[in-house]
Amino acid sequence: MKQNKEKFGLKDFDFTKIDLDINITPAGKVDGPSAGGLMVTAIVSALTGRSVTPGLAMTGEITMRGDILPIGGLKQKVMAAHRMGYKMVIFPWANLKDVEDIPKEVRDGIELKAVKTYDEIYPHAIVPAEDAPKA
């Protein structure tokens, strides 16, 4: 995160004054490995004080370099997001082939955004500072 601090709106953030300790249970023990992009978004939101875009759902494992890896169950995840009223689902580019399995009425009712890296998620996920509600 330090090497991308300007890109993520953390230019003046002092990383020497905070430690982030993230513990992840090994894959197969619990659900959750496909929430990597979401976890990075939550951290960026917390550190910048900027909101996550309303109506956004996302899925995708993430590498230490920010690559978004494929997941299982895209159809079910998109259908659940649609049912809950989400407006957009961000998902791994590698799962693009799975979109045809999603019913047409669901695909037509939600924006689907395939991404390869976290750099493609960030502009959609974090509300720009100039658009944030004024206190």
Domains, the chain, ranges and CATH? 57-129 (3.30.230.10)
Active site residue: 45, 77, 97, 134, which one?
Answer: 77
- Altogether, the residues listed in the chain come to a count of 135
**The pTM is what?**
0.83
Give the tens place of pLDDT for each residue, 17-68.
887 777 666 655 555 568 889 999 998 898 888 899 999 999 999 988 899 9
Active site residue: 5, 7, 11, 34, which one?
Answer: 34
45 is catalytic: no
134 is catalytic: no
* DSSP notation for 41-75: HHHHHHHHTPPBPTTEEE--EE-TT-BEEP-S-HH
Confidence of residue 11 (pLDDT cuts 50, 70, 90): confident
